[in-house]
Amino acid sequence: MGIWSDTVSHLFYPYMKADDTGTMQDVKWVSVKNNNKDTSLLIASENGIEMSALHFTPQDLHRADHPYKLSPQKETYLNLNYGSMGTGTATCGQGTLEKYRLSSGKTYNWSYTVIPVASSSSEKQLSDTAAKLRSDGICIQDKSNNKLSVSVSSGAEFKTTTVGNAVSGSVSVPHCDNLDKSLSGKNSFTVEANFIPTGNPQFNMIGSKGDHAFGLRVENGFVHFFIHAGGEWRTVSYTTSTTDGWLNKMHQLAGIYDAENDMIRIYCDGKMAAEKSTGTSAGVTESSYNFTIGSCPETNRGSQADFYEVRVYSKALTAAELSSQNTSKPAYSPDSKYVQLWLDFDNVSEGNLIGDIDLDGKISSADLVELNGYLLGKTKFSAGQYSVGDLNGDGKIDVFDMIELRKIVTGNN
C-alpha cells in the first residue's frame, strides 16, 4: 500500500483500439485537483473501490475506433465503481476464472464519501482525513482532561456487541506528556481494563508500554503484571483458570504500581488478587513506545480479547476504588486529576475536526479566540487541541495556522 500521484492526461494509455484505460483497484482514497483552484475533491472509500480519471467520457471511447480520433476534453471525468470483471471472455482462449467474475445475479454494495479539501493539502493530510472518514479510521475520544483522540486503525477491529462497542487487536494511544510521565519513573500508576478474552494464547496482552517498561498480560493459568526497574524485570503473578469460566466472559483486570511502597499488585474481578515487593527503590524504566492496548509495542505480542473500557490513573488504586470505577459513582471520575486516560469504546467519533480548537464539534469564531490565546501564551493546549490546531500539517502551531483557520471561519478558503 502506498500513495501515488500522476496527471489525468498521463493516465490515458493509447491502445491500438480506443478502450477503457487507467483503471486502478482497491483504492482507499483519491484526490483530484486543479492547480488553478483553491479547492479540490477528496474521495474516501469504505472498503476499497475501483477508479479512473480521464479527459474522455465512456461514450467518447466507444465511438472512436482508434486513439487519434479522440479529442481530449477540458473536463476531468472521474469514475468510481465497485469493480470490473477480470480478463478473459472465452471467445478466443481462456474464459474468466470464477474468482474474478462479477455475477449479474448478485447485488453489490459499496460506499464512499466525497468532500472538498484545500488544494494545498499534503499527501499526509489527505491520507489522515480519508482515514477519519472510513469505519476503520474511527476515533475514540478520551474522556480524561488530556482529551486524546485514539485512532482505531488497521491493526484493530471495531465491533458492536450485545454489551456495547468493543475493540479487538492492537490500539496505540498517542503520546501525551501527562500520560507518559505517569507511566515511568518513580510514579505510582494503575492500568485497568474491562475486557472479554476470546482466546487463550501464550501471551494475551492487555496493555503495555514495551517489554522494558511494563506490561499486563494473561497466559494459560496465570495473570502477570511486570515492570522493568533497576535493570531487571519485576513480576507479580496470579494463578487462576484462564479457560473454565474465564473465556468469553467480562473481566475487570488491573496492574498497579505503588511507587511509595515499592509494591506491584494485580486486581481481578473485585479483589486484590496478588501483590509483591519490587525489591528495588528504582522506578519504572522510561520508554519511548506508545502505551498500547492489546499488544506489546516492543515485542509485537498480541491479544485475543475484546476491550470495552481502558483507564489509566496516576495513582495506586485500592481494591475498593477499582470496584467503584464500574459503578455510577466512581471514586475517580473522568475529570479527576488522577485520571490520565479514560477510553470507553462507546464514545466514538470520526476524528476531531481540524480547526475545531475548542472541541465543540464545529468551527467558529470561538476557535479563533482559543488559537489566539495559545499563540499569545495565555492558554495551554491539550493533546487533542494540539492535533486539530496544526492546520497546515507542518508539526507546529504558529501564525500560519491562524491564517488558515481565519480562511475557514470567514469562508475565504
Task: Identify whether residues 172 and 271 lie together within a single domain.
Answer: yes
How confident is the model at residue 12, as a pLDDT?
93
Q: Does 357 map to a domain?
A: no
How confident is the model at residue 268, as a pLDDT?
97
For residue 259, which of 281, 285, 237 has the smallest C-alpha distance? Answer: 281
CA 131 – CA 31 distance, rounded (Å): 13
Task: Identify whether residues 231 and 298 lie together within a single domain.
Answer: yes
Three-state secondary-structure class, residue 26: strand
Task: Identify whether residues 158 and 265 lie together within a single domain.
Answer: yes
Q: pLDDT confidence of 245, banded at 50, 70, 90?
A: confident
pLDDT tens readout for residues 203-231: 999 999 999 999 999 988 899 999 999 99
10 Å Cβ neighbour count for 202? 9
pLDDT tens readout for residues 267-284: 999 999 999 999 999 999
CATH number of the domain that residue 23 is part of: 2.70.98.10
Task: Identify whether residues 153 and 226 lie together within a single domain.
Answer: yes
Torsion of CA 247, 248, 250, 255, to 10 degrees: 40
Domain region containing 396 = 365-410
* DSSP state for residue 63 in the 8-state scheme: H
What is the average pLDDT value for the chain, to the nearest integer? Answer: 88
Lowest average pLDDT, out of 6-20, 111-125, 167-181, 311-325, goes to 111-125
Question: What are 137's three cell numbers?
Answer: 479510521
Task: Identify whether residues 123 and 150 lie together within a single domain.
Answer: no
How confident is the model at residue 97, as a pLDDT?
83
* DSSP β-bridge partners for residue 249: none
Q: Does 40 map to a domain?
A: yes
Q: Does 360 map to a domain?
A: no
How confident is the model at residue 384, as a pLDDT?
65
10 Å Cβ neighbour count for 347? 16
Question: How far from the centroid of its chain's Cα atoms is residue 166's Cα?
Answer: 14
Question: What are 148's three cell numbers?
Answer: 486524546
Task: Identify whether residues 299 and 343 lie together within a single domain.
Answer: yes
How confident is the model at residue 307, as a pLDDT?
97
Give 77's Cβ-side CA count (13 Å radius): 16
CB 48 within 8 A of CB 27: yes
Q: pLDDT confidence of 392, banded at 50, 70, 90?
A: confident
How confident is the model at residue 136, as a pLDDT?
54
How confident is the model at residue 309, as a pLDDT?
97
Residue 410 has pLDDT above 80, yes or no: no
Residue 94 has pLDDT above 90, yes or no: no
For residue 76, with 0-12 CB atoms within 10 Å meaning exposed, 13-18 middle and 19 or more buried, which class applies?
A: middle
Q: Which residue has the higher pLDDT, 354 or 277?
A: 277
Give 96's Cβ-side CA count (13 Å radius): 12
Query: Of 349, 373, 390, at which residue does a domain stop?
Result: 349
- Report how far apart the first and last C-alpha atoms of the chain are (Å, whole number): 31
CB 192 within 8 A of CB 203: no
Lowest average pLDDT, out of 2-6, 172-176, 191-195, goes to 2-6
Q: What's the Rg (C-alpha) of the chain?
A: 26
**Which pTM value belongs to this model?**
0.59
CA 38 – CA 203 distance, rounded (Å): 51
How confident is the model at residue 385, as a pLDDT?
78
Task: Identify whether residues 228 and 261 lie together within a single domain.
Answer: yes
Query: Of 129, 152, 174, at which residue does a domain stop?
Result: 129
Q: Which residue has the higher pLDDT, 261 or 399?
A: 261
Q: Does 25 map to a domain?
A: yes
Query: Of 72, 104, 129, at which residue does a domain stop?
Result: 129
Cβ neighbours for 269, distance < 8 A, ≥ 6 positions apart? 251, 252, 253
How confident is the model at residue 157, as a pLDDT?
84
For residue 96, with 0-12 CB atoms within 10 Å meaning exposed, 13-18 middle and 19 or more buried, which class applies?
A: middle
Percentage, residues of the chain above pLDDT 70: 92
Residue 153 has pLDDT above 90, yes or no: no
Question: How far from the centroid of its chain's Cα atoms is residue 301's Cα?
Answer: 19
CB 40 within 8 A of CB 130: no
Q: Does 358 map to a domain?
A: no
Q: Which residue has the higher pLDDT, 385 or 259?
A: 259
**Structural domains in the chain (count):** 3
* DSSP state for residue 174 in the 8-state scheme: P
CATH number of the domain that residue 157 is part of: 2.60.120.200
Lowest average pLDDT, out of 28-42, 258-272, 308-322, 346-360, goes to 346-360
Task: Identify whether residues 16 and 52 lie together within a single domain.
Answer: yes
Q: pLDDT confidence of 350, banded at 50, 70, 90?
A: very low
Long-range contacts of 106-111 (CB under 8 A, 24+ apart): 108/82, 108/83, 110/45, 110/46, 110/47, 110/49, 110/82, 111/45, 111/46
Q: Does 47 map to a domain?
A: yes
Task: Identify whether residues 67 and 143 lie together within a single domain.
Answer: no
Q: pLDDT confidence of 135, banded at 50, 70, 90?
A: low
Task: Identify whether residues 209 and 344 lie together within a single domain.
Answer: yes
Q: pLDDT confidence of 60, banded at 50, 70, 90?
A: very high
Q: pLDDT confidence of 322, banded at 50, 70, 90?
A: very high
CA 257 – CA 238 distance, rounded (Å): 15
Q: Which residue has the higher pLDDT, 194 or 96?
A: 194
Task: Identify whether residues 40 and 157 lie together within a single domain.
Answer: no
Q: pLDDT confidence of 101, banded at 50, 70, 90?
A: confident
Q: Does 296 map to a domain?
A: yes
pLDDT, average across residues 362-379: 88
Torsion of CA 270, 271, 274, 279, to 10 degrees: 100
Task: Identify whether residues 111 and 160 lie together within a single domain.
Answer: no
Q: Does 188 map to a domain?
A: yes
